[in-house]
Chain A
Amino acid sequence: MYRSFISLRYLVARPTNLIGVVGIFVAVGALILILSIMTGFLEESRRTIRGSLSDIIVEPYFHGFVPGEAIPDRPGPMLQTLRGLDGVRAAAPRLQWAGIITQSGPDADKFQQIFSSSTHASLLVAELVGVDVLTPWRVAAPAIALSTRARAWVAPDFRIQDEFDATELMGALRRVAEDEDKTQDPDDELTELFGRPRAPVHNPLFPFQPPPEYVRNGRPLASCIVGKQLFRSLGLARGDVLEIGTVVPSKEKGWNLNNRRFVIAGTFQSRDNEMDAARIYVARSELADFLGDSKTFSQTLVRLENYERDGERLVREIRETLEERNLILGGLNARQEVRTWEQFRINVLRAIENERVLMGIMLSLVLVVAGFTIFAILSMMVTEKRRDIGILCALGATPRGVLDLFLLIAFWDAIVGATLGTVVGVWSAIEIDSIERWLSSALNVQIFNRNVYLFDHIPSVVQPVWVGTIVLGAFLCSLLFAAIPAWRASRLDPLVALRYE
């Protein structure tokens, strides 16, 4: 009984103990807040990547084939095979190639200036992505006319629309349309300089339709959809013409230099800034034509009915089936050729996960510092309370009881500190967005730049398991650091204290 009674009395009567409590409080609160934010980033990134990526990506190793045994260079057989599998909702081919922006005409000087600046030089190289999209002449006109007028995102129930949904472009276009209503940041210099950063495509159902601003002059041009960042940095506008050059393999000459002009039909916005700064979407048939029909597809994107349920099974099944039918190289390469979205973006996800672990380790040091504080305070207290220890022994306390008494002081420190830390940590993790906004306006500094990150809010997810682990860690740390002074107290000779005043 006396252990808890006296330890509590010491805790209350001695304000220095509060330093230990504050240490634990800060450590637990900071750990919960930061780990919640990191977990939020991780989950939000997964969601973002998930939202813009199909479930399974098939990327055949064309170059690995022995001549004569080459897999078909048209996507037809692969699509047919994939669509025939149970659990596959849609499969769409995609063609990727690299291009260089080679603007000529009246804008040439401006572009040269942009590209010669070191900060924008990377914009010169574009990632060309060809996707299959509904074209007006392939579907019944009345249904499209209706949905176009309503600007609704209700997709007509056509197989091809499902396939389009499997591409990243669908989500990226939807995001532009959704963001269109949101107010622009008036302080944004780029907006002032280059105008609106977003230009949604005129008709999202037929994104490669020429925009109304386009004035046809001679041969009609194919349309392209440019990433938001690229669009903004180059100061483009919907209806502008963009000239792109590329190099394609040729049987006769080795390499051919091609270039072509595209009309800008609008912008897309993925949640990956790098993608938005480099990618240009065109219709796959146009890109294949631009490349001289040397390639018609490089990837096949697969959307499943239920990824969580069938994902693992279908990845294996797809590998086996495609290998059996000689549609991928297979063997040891099969693992790389057929990947889930998580495996495809594993580096990004791993990087965030690593960051989370690193932050956790760094912040655990705060806990260790708090532990040291408890150690210092208790050591001081044991020296100071030598006489009390002697008195307690004379009254019948055992060394074990004295040990417990001092351990209990650390235990109370941990209870009070960890409780306060958990409450404040969880609360601030939940309210971090409004706290950041308030702090930003109070300090007149933008703490979280919503234009730089992928998200328009600070994501945070409080995981009870983590909170529990942190609290447990706080207790262990406190008790561990308290053990040495407590043990010293229990080994004190009570007589030394009792003999003299």
Chain B
Amino acid sequence: MSEIVDRWVEKCIKLPNIGKMTHADRMRKAFELEDPDMVPVAIETDEWQIVYAGYDFFETWNDVDKVTDAVLKTWYDLRQDVIWPYFCPSHVLDPILTPEQRKTCYDLRDGKSYVVFHEPTKDLDEIIKVFESKPWVKYGLGRLGSHYIPHFDQTLEFQKKMNNTVPTVLGVANPSNIVEWVVGVENFLRWSVSEPKAKVHYYLQLATDFCLATAESCRPYAEAGVDYVCVFGGARTWGPRQFEEFGLYDRIFADKIASIFKYPFHHICGQNLPLAMDMLATMPYPAIQYDESMRQLGWSWAQWCEWVARLNKGIACAMNAPTTQAMAYKSIDHNRRMIQEFIEHTTPHTTAVIMPGCEISVGTPLENVKAAIDATREYGQYPQCKTAAEQIWTEESFQESRKKLTKNLPQWAYNYRKDPKLIK
């Protein structure tokens, strides 16, 4: 029981629906690839919420109630279709750090900026030793246990007291994310081409064991009514060779998380490869949160969004728009246009959720966030959105392009694709 949750439930419990559905029903429809009343909006507000609510990272660092207060205030003010609990770098890193490292790893600066962290090591042998020694067993989960879990519990309590009309989203990292993130992505990229493959595989195996155990420890949440899990994916800058050699670990994790939760979705930010999109379409995720295309393709935003939507027809809900960069520093008109194009080039092929490819920056103007939500409600009305725009690709030109751009799909992904039952 939480006083802060009860205070917000009292304010929110009688709020009328927006549109014809509850937030939860709208999201569920989109994830089930059925038409909702309108396109859901679920912008990953993450640490932006802390500053938006008038707090800073100093005062919320050890105060779970204030974090929850910020998150619930943000939900109340913006009425998005999900609650995004605050997920901080420390929640990922702390389990593999010693108590001493935990004290020096994070830098809160002025309290209003992104929380900067320092990787515990940039050496492959060293990080292997870290995972082998299982610091989380010896030293506990650190801020993951003392901060994220109690905060998430409060958002789940809110979800339940709101009669499950608005879902909360759990966050977990997958193996490729962990192996890159804890050592600096550039170092893992180097190792993927310079270190003995067996050693890199061993590192990935250790990280996969860690991730699988994390997923298993989250099972009680699935039983308690948590459906949505954001799988923070790494491998954002991998090429076909790395996917072929090292991609299977993420697939193993995807199977695990999909066996526990109803609606896990994959998060892949950055400039995405068409091949990575195709590979993700073979994974058992009902939705994909993706981002921009590789600039080398020279595609327009609408062209890219439509390509991904066509790829995911009958497979997964496509979640994107606008980019976090546009949210941070482009005009309201620009953001509205990105949302309109995304919706009108996605919904003819699969369902859509407005969810930029990554969490929005702390410095994102409130007016852009509000404009994005308003634009979604305006352009995302069903069934009009499905026929509002002339499409860019034909089925033939899309298939031809797909054949060309994804010809190096990893063999393991082909194996899964052969059996459609394994896709869903």
Q: Do A and B bind each other?
A: no
Chain B positions within 8 Å of A, measured between CB atoms, are: none
